Structure 1
Amino acid sequence: MARSEEQNRLARETAKENILQAAIEVFVERGVSGASIAEITKRAGVAQGLMNYHFGTKEQLIAAVIDRWFDTVLGFAQIEGTPDEMLAAIIDSALRSTAYAVPLQRVVLAIQQQPATHRLFAESEERHADAATAAEDAVRDVFRARGASDPALEEIMLRSTLEGVFVKYSVFGDTYPLDDARRWVHRLYGLPDPVDPLPVSPPPRTGEPRPRARAAVCDGTGTV
């Protein structure tokens, strides 16, 4: 029986998502420059023609990965409530995204640093300029409501702090104390400690935290 147009559309969307996820995985393993389209399509379980259909060139696929990252980081939670409640939600949403999107975070961090791909990051940033400005303004409004004398600088420093956490977590994996860092950021802004932990499952920690880069290349358990 022939597939309906809706079934065909869903199949195309599934193939496109599979290619994107496979690209993220292979970019993490091989690096962007070392990854081949053949390996990505094999990992995705699709013919190379589908890759060409959905993304065109490897450069366009890299751009799509960066776009996915922007969509993720700009989709932070906004809730109604007091300025303190809104700030806590922003912090928690950013760190939750960090925990869930580690492979994507690692790929985009590398793309940002490499001269050959930095242009692609800048172009994606321009495509998301309106959303980025709106997100910045929303956070600045929260700081303004909290009585900050320089809401713009407060927003920049909060973003710098959270981005620093994401870089460290990307490098050190589950040996980096993400929940402890979250509580530290809350206290930095005079917010109550979070009641519930982030919905991730790092191994139980005993003693003082000692982040180690080799944990990020383990089998996902965080075991060193």
Structure 2
Amino acid sequence: MNDDTRKMIYGTIVVFLLFLVFWLGFVYISACGFTLTCIQGAPLVVRTPVPTLIPVRHAQAQAQPGATAVEFNKCKVAATDLIAAWVSAGHTETEPFQFTDLTGQDCEGTFADIQPLFVENSLWFPGSLGCTSCHNADLTDRSAGLDLSSYEAISLGTRRVAEATSPGTDIFGGGEWENSLLYEVLVNQGMTTQGHSPDVPPNEAILYAGQMVSEGEVTPTPTP
């Protein structure tokens, strides 16, 4: 091998090494800049212009002095027992009535606890329609002329005709629960009267209603 060939080989190796060093330096400087910590190589944190999480101060996280937790004060009761207590107490719109829940606790309720039983869906059993889906102001034949959409309409009773203001047949049994039409439909017939589907067996609906009261807080029930 002559000197010229050796020079060409060595020159090529040197040029290759210089190119390799230059290329690695270019890559490093592009990624990390002229630093040894390579801060620019850290992942970019994308932030919104407005802080989405506001730091909570320690003082704010502590409960305020004198603050008390809200206590659950509802009573667990069967729907028919709740209606029975309301009917037996005179079935008024504004006066409270007393009942005993399933745990033996003295409780007190009002018509505001009764109305959802006639209006809300899926209350008596899963998938059931509210009573007012049939028993409303239209007073169709299927509804037996009974409107359960308001206290005034309920008080007028059943067997009424549309737009009539005169009372129909009393559904409260004169305040005697077991003599009332409500008892006949809800208990004796188990919600499977004509026009109601008997496909779903009647289940006693259990709900939370009214409020617990101590013996000294019980409101005297007015005499019907």
With normalisation by structure 2, the TM-score equals 0.25
- Larger Rg: 1 or 2? 2
With normalisation by structure 1, the TM-score equals 0.25
Kindly indicate whether structure 1 or structure 2 has the higher relative contact order, using CA contacts under 8 Å at least 6 residues apart: 2
